[in-house]
Amino acid sequence: MTALRRPYIFWLALFAVTWALSRWSFPLYKALDARWIIKFPKAWELPLEGWISAAMAWLVESATFGLFTFRDLTRFISALIEAPYDLVRNLLVDGFQTGLGQNAVEVAPSLSWIAVIAVVGALAYYAKDWKLAVLVGACFLYLAIFGQWESAMVTLASVLISVPMGAVGGLALGILSYRYQWFERALRPMLDLMQTVPVFAYLVPILFLFGFGPVSALVATIIYAMPPMVRITTVALQTVPPEVHDVGKMTGCTRRQMMWKVLVPVATPTLMVGVNQVIMLSLNMVIIASMIGAGGLGFDVLGALRRLDIGAGVEAGLAIVVMAVALDRLSQAFAVRERGHAITGGFVKRHPWGVTVVLVIVGTFLAGQFLPALQTYPDGATVTTSRFWSGAIEWINVNFFDTFEAIKVFFLNWLMLPVKRFFGGIPWPWGVVALGLIGWRLGGWRLGLLCAVMTLFIAASGLWPKAMVTVYLCGVSVLIASVIGIPLGVLAAQNERAGGIIGGFIDTLQTLPSFVYLIPVVMLFRVGDFSAMIAVVLYALAPAVRYAAHGIRSIDPGMIEAGKVSGCTRRQLLWRIKLPLAAPSLLLGLNQTIMLALSMLVITALVGTRDLGQEVYIALTKANTGQGIIAGLSVAFIAIIADRIVTALARKSKERLGLEA
């Protein structure tokens, strides 16, 4: 036991035992004739899956609240979401009609493309300046010219509905958890879980409750986008300076006045950051939710991926990118916008933009009656780049096939397959023990117990092999993301010009909905683990870079000067001073990288991985709630274990550096 307390020996021994067991688990099972070693006995499996499915079926079919049934409730919620959605959708895409089907008569057309561009341009000018107005206008013009208008407007309609609902809902929950501690205590674990349960897992029960269609997609989107808003609201309210509270009290504010006249307005800049997040997450989810009927750009990408229609996929993907950039810049501009001075004068003078926009809308509506091109962007004038992209990808594939193949084979043979074999071979009982030991070692017996129990849950759900595939894919991706990301981050922190370029690149990567990453990867490497790995690396790169840069930048300059005075070379400065001091920050980045990798990993099930993501995806296609939730929880547990272990590591390294007691 005393030997075990020495750090290196403990970790070496743990690894050696794990490796040996992994290598010889099969012969061991043969020799002992104990099949339970490698496969969790069917008889012991938890019947949770069946229970959950049965409970859901009961909920939908016979649950009742006395006055109304559960189904009435879901129908009510559907109606509540559907009505505004239909309105916005009519406004943006379909136009207003009376009657149904064949008898439908158009009452009024949708907003013309020119009107929509004018509106977003005016918003951008209002929020910031001419440059932004031109950028955002150009983004939307791109959608029209390249024939993505209709799909984009369907997506935009979903975003426009889910953002206010998500933001207002998040604000309300955030205010409640700020006011009532018990509420926060109850809500926090749910938020933690919701952030780690993969998005697909939400879709399954929602699909079951609301059926296939836009409403399901919107519900999923709202639920997905709300947690960050809740957190940001609570934090924003908590960080209002105490003196501002005192001002409110001393001027005799009631509780309501305190909230709405003092706290919320003072916290508004931070709250707007939350709204920006809600917008970006909504866009991300609306794209993913095309699988359960959201339609729009996501549906186009999905369809193209399924048909392996390279050109169409790239086109729709680019449209998503363009839209993401426009929405992100616009909402960020609103977040940092400073109030200008009031303009005095007549109505027109005070509201120049409102008036212009109304004029454009009315003008294009009237003119559109005679000149359809003003109403709907003419098909003939659209430019399709589909053939170009197909050609380009084909050319790359023809000319560089061998290169890509060589890269792929190299990674598979030398990194991915050995790691896969290692994790795949670990017998589940040892997995439970090993994680328990790691948790105990780093964070005490509580953490050890938590890790062991969560691991056991995964094994007992019969998901051990798939969980190990998830761990292997996630591990390899995080490793590569760190190997690329940390040096980039260090470079960005040390060189201002490089920092600007890398920062811009990473910002753009982060605004892209996760779906988009799949497109180029599949085009170049086809389906499989390697493609999945590349997509995950791209998606999870950002936090590794950001936290590394942040860690290096926030080192006390005095320490670096001390190093220089001691005669360190640049290299020594980096390795002996900067990196060790940035270690806690690097670990936080690692944590975030793991979280993002796991969430992306589930989406890569679409390109044919055989991990827990696939399990969720299968559950989704079969609308099997129990299976989906169990697999989703398993992913969440992996995320939680990783999070707690890395956090414990970060705490240890902070203590070692004396940064925190």
Crossing angle for the helix pair 214-238 and 149-179, nearest 10 degrees? 40
Regarding 241 and contact with another protein (CB under 8 A), the answer is yes
Regarding 262 and contact with another protein (CB under 8 A), the answer is yes
Regarding 247 and contact with another protein (CB under 8 A), the answer is yes
Regarding 655 and contact with another protein (CB under 8 A), the answer is no
Regarding 342 and contact with another protein (CB under 8 A), the answer is yes
Q: What phi, psi does 339 have (nearest 5°)?
A: -65, 135
Regarding 270 and contact with another protein (CB under 8 A), the answer is no
Regarding 243 and contact with another protein (CB under 8 A), the answer is yes
Of 63, 194, 244, 392, the one binding another protein by CB under 8 A:
244
Beta strands in 124-251 (DSSP E): none
Place of tokens 């096939």: 401
Number of residues this chain uses to bind another protein (CB under 8 A):
21
Regarding 341 and contact with another protein (CB under 8 A), the answer is yes
Two tokens, residue 543: 């936090």
Regarding 343 and contact with another protein (CB under 8 A), the answer is no
* Shortest separation between residue 257's beta carbon and another protein, angstroms: 6
* Shortest separation between residue 168's beta carbon and another protein, angstroms: 19
Of 73, 235, 253, 273, the one binding another protein by CB under 8 A:
253
Q: Pick out residues in 412-451 that bind another protein (CB under 8 A).
A: none
Please choose, out of 260-268, 361-369, 562-570, 603-611, the segment that lies near another protein by the rule CB under 8 A.
260-268
Q: Considering the complex, state which of residue 265 and residue 418 has its C-beta at the smaller distance from another protein.
A: 265
Place of tokens 């409403």: 215
Rounded Cα gap, residues 466 and 486, in angstroms: 29
Regarding 259 and contact with another protein (CB under 8 A), the answer is no
CA distances (Å), 66 to each of 70, 72, 118, 545, in order?
A: 10, 11, 51, 55
Please choose, out of 29-37, 183-191, 199-207, 259-267, the segment that lies near another protein by the rule CB under 8 A.
259-267
Regarding 403 and contact with another protein (CB under 8 A), the answer is no
Two tokens, residue 183: 């509420």
Q: What residues does 97 pair with on adjacent strands?
A: 106
Of 3, 7, 98, 338, the one binding another protein by CB under 8 A:
338
Helix (H) / strand (E) element for 406: namely: helix 386-411
8 Å CB contact between 607 and 527: yes
- Number of C-beta neighbours around residue 487 at 10 A: 13
Of 179, 185, 249, 349, the one binding another protein by CB under 8 A:
249
* Shortest separation between residue 217's beta carbon and another protein, angstroms: 36
Regarding 239 and contact with another protein (CB under 8 A), the answer is no
Regarding 181 and contact with another protein (CB under 8 A), the answer is no
CA distances (Å), 541 to each of 34, 160, 533, 653, in order?
A: 42, 29, 12, 23
Handedness of CA 178, 181, 182, 186 (dihedral sign): positive
Q: Is 652 left (phi over 0), alpha (psi -120 to 50) or beta?
A: alpha
Please choose, out of 97-105, 238-246, 346-354, 653-661, the segment that lies near another protein by the rule CB under 8 A.
238-246
Rg (CA), the chain: 27
Regarding 257 and contact with another protein (CB under 8 A), the answer is yes
Q: Is 623 left (phi over 0), alpha (psi -120 to 50) or beta?
A: left
Residues in contact with another protein by the rule CB under 8 A: 241, 243-244, 246-247, 249-254, 257, 261-262, 265-266, 268, 338-339, 341-342
